[in-house]
Structure 1
């Protein structure tokens, strides 16, 4: 019979367990709490010099043109800075994991655009609401407020997928609004504006956002039929004839914009957006081959049948000929003046406020890149291009890091539409491609463009907050 166990008033210590899982759990929670704060602190650290660059640019413009500073415009710029900081605070509260580089980048671009527009206004002796710079500040304030609303109201980008058909009808409506007889307005030969009282707006800028949402939602549901079946020709698999419907519809809409609204840039922008999103969704290079071929055929037909397209191509190919330079319609005068302005800037530029950008027509809008190139030089425009490249690359990174197909397509589409628009505009100014009527994102004067591009930035920030990869809990048995 076994001896009874002796009793002790002090029980033995509890068996020790491996603290590995608990330590991993605790460290992961702490890391999750640290990462958002670190991202937002980085954003704030970048916003301070970004706002300083904008303030310095405005002061330089004032000192170079008049030898003194104007407290009025600096006060308005200070109010914009408060709105930017308010957006930063809003992201701390509702989007703590959002990308920390996007807001500082667009702040610098938007601010440099305001400074250059204000500089051209000074040479034209415009003040008050007549000044395009003051109007640009007002539009920027409205755009930032709308961006904050987008960040606060849309807590998850997947909600937008439910409204893809509403986005489709909204995009179509925004496209046809300029064609209405009472509100549609033709400016510089293109009928892409609507006018209500003293205000004018370009609805196609917002249309690109709505169509990007629709394309992303549609391609998520239709990509299987668009990517898995087809006929192989050489090394590429081409889609069936019955699957060509979507690309034919978008191609027809792009050609309608080109023919009826006489807007080559918007036509190329919409079709290029759909083509790239289609390629990302399906992975088929054959879609790109078909799309580029269709657009080249359409462009050739437009060149041979539409006089304004013919004129723009001729002005592009032979801009320095006397016939094109002095032509009454589709003159190359604007292109040549913009090139002379870029050449005058040289390597380091004349300095803000010391150039002559006002000699180029539409120096505030279509040719603001040339205006900035003259006063900031090759170094300055390379810095601006680097900011655009960084913005687009962050957008692509956000899109490809997404865990859902809709988020991937939407992120890539939104980033690509900004990059394509920059290429179309700057390519036209530098004679890489024929000149179009699009505006340089965030830089050029124009309220509709500002609002649309700030919405794009807000959606990318929301996407980056939703899809950012965070460390997972690792709990071992």
Structure 2
């Protein structure tokens, strides 16, 4: 790991006992913080250029409001930059600009879909539906508030390990809340939502973070037990039968989500997250084999027993058979037609017909992007997601404590799994699951929870990137030091 660049000037402590990095008086920003600021400016310019392209394609002229919105978007993420500089000044400088770029493109695409739906309603003589772009902008503001609060409150990620079992209980409660008769709400066939007055919220988005804290804390304490080998088969070492309890509990919990809430996406996501972090904790490939075997068993049982799973699988396998293209596979087929129309470079922002796909701004926003930005645009977005996951795993590798390693790995894996499941479903690689695309799809629950994930990853990266002298740690033995006498104590820093 490259050491942080030296800072000139006299260092002062701006945050008392919570200081994370010595900030010199009158000094300029460190190079990595200046890099973050420039990348954020580029993300703002990218979002402004995309909005200008949409407005120019539809209205034929640009107005001052385009640049006003672009300036406001840049200022919003500039405040997030100041929060990182204040609460985690040594954190990874790449994560925040990558997320800002995705959020900017998502807001523009949601606005473009609002315009397309409004135009289609006018042509059909129907009532113009309310737009969702402004509401998503409000959710973005709330997400950034949560982002700042997480950075400000969680000054040391290791303190979260003290509440691991409490987090596990809270995570299960959040998962079960939608099944309650008074507060739970069924939308589009899935019972995932809490309805509070005119607002709805998806608690599973919060529970995935809370449960990841529990998984990390539990496996840090139990990984030695779970790594014990019982017998070997085909070169793989398998655990003892009595140690299979955690995997079986996670498997049954994921099946419970599938049965009670009819949510295939969250079921896959929770079990996949636990399996990844279990493998990282134990370094036993046998756990992956056992997990995949349980997953296949659960998939077969779910297909045989539950009608909503049969509809998803049949619509996936036989999308173009019989009346499926105009019936249960209509959404999937229209999305594939959108990809075909976009080709390599796309039709151009504002020049396609993405509104033909149902739920184009949530489940199928990647198909809308594929139509207007083409394969090149999709690949660029997937590269950005890959960079976010890579930087998260880098924070996991650099973390100085086992809990931080587990937590960063699990959070990064949750983002990777969510992108794979969502994009794979739209591209007909796997059955549709209903998950949203992080930071791009319309949805307040998703963007708020994912903003909290990014804040935790920045906190963990700050803990290992800051100078060792600013990190209170137990003294380490220096093998190169030689004591003059048996009673002399060698101190190292």
Please give the TM-score of this superposition, normalised by the length of structure 2.
Answer: 0.86
The residue aligned with 1:102 is 95
CA distance change for structure 1 residues 266 and 36 in 2, over 3 Å: closer, same or farther? farther
Supply the distance in 2 between the matched residues of 1:396 and 1:36 (Cα, whole angstroms).
26
Counterparts of residues 304-453 of structure 1 (less than 5 Å): 304-327=304-327, 331-453=328-450
Q: C-alpha distance in 2, partners of 1:343/1:75?
A: 35
Structure 2 CA distance for aligned equivalents of residues 79 and 365 of structure 1 = 24
Give per-residue Cα distances to partners, 1:206-244, cap 9 Å, x unaligned: 111111111001100011100134222331221112111
- Structure 1 residues 42-441: aligned runs within 5 Å: 42-69=35-62, 75=68, 78-125=71-118, 130-327=130-327, 331-441=328-438
Residues 156-202 of structure 1 show CA distances to partners (whole Å, capped at 9, x for unaligned) of 11011111122112211110111011121111111111111111111
Deviation at 1:256, TM superposition (A): 0.4
Whichever of the two has the greater Rg, that structure is 1
Q: How far does the alpha carbon of each residue in 1:265-318 deviate from its partner, in whole angstroms, 9 at most, with x for none?
A: 100000000000000000001100000100100100111111111111111111
Q: Which runs of 5+ in 2 are unaligned?
A: 10-20, 120-126, 471-477, 483-493
Q: 1:266 to 1:275 in 2, by over 3 A?
A: same
Cα–Cα, structure 1 residues 435 and 283, in superposed 2: closer, same or farther, change >3 Å?
same
Report the Cα distance in structure 1 between the residues aligned to 2:349 and 2:323, rounded to whole angstroms.
Answer: 34
- Local SS of the residue matching 2:92: coil
Do 1:442 and 1:453's aligned partners in 2 also have CA atoms closer than 8 Å? yes
Which is worse superposed, 57-66 or 95-104?
A: 57-66
Structure 1, unaligned stretches of length 5 or more? 1-26
Counterpart residue number, 1:7? none
| Separation in structure 2 between the aligned mates of residue 199 and residue 75 of structure 1, nearest angstrom | 29
Partner of 1:24: none
Within 2, Cα distance between the matches of 1:28 and 1:355?
51
Partners of 1:326 and 1:59 lie apart in 2 by: 35
Partner Cα separation in structure 2 for residue 131 and residue 229 of structure 1: 57
CA distance in 2, matches of 1:121, 1:63: 15
* CA distance in structure 2 between the aligned counterparts of 1:421 and 1:144, rounded to whole angstroms: 21
**CA distances 1:317-357 after superposition (whole Å, capped 9, x unpaired):** 11111232233xxx010000000001101111111111100
Structure 1 runs (4+) deviating above 3 angstroms are 27-36, 68-80, 126-129, 469-477
CA distance in structure 1 between the aligned counterparts of 2:212 and 2:64, rounded to whole angstroms: 41
Structure 1 length-normalised TM: 0.89
1:393 shift after superposition:
0.6
Over 3 Å counting, the alpha-carbon distance change for 1:287 and 1:48 in structure 2 is: same
- Alignment partners' CA distance in 2, 1:74 and 1:142: 22
* Aligned match of 1:5: none
Q: Any conservation in 2 of the 1:128–1:134 contact (CA below 8 Å)?
A: no
Secondary structure of the structure 1 residue equivalent to 2:138: helix
* SS at structure 1 position matched to 2:323: helix
The whole-number CA distance in structure 2 between the counterparts of 1:56 and 1:429 is 27
Please give the per-residue CA displacement for 1:7-61, whole angstroms capped at 9, x wherever unaligned: xxxxxxxxxxxxxxxxxxxx97769879981211110011111111011111211
Aligned residue number for residue 19 of structure 1: none
Separation in 2, partners of 1:303, 1:123: 37
Aligned residues: 448
CA contact (8 A) 2:40 2:74 kept: no
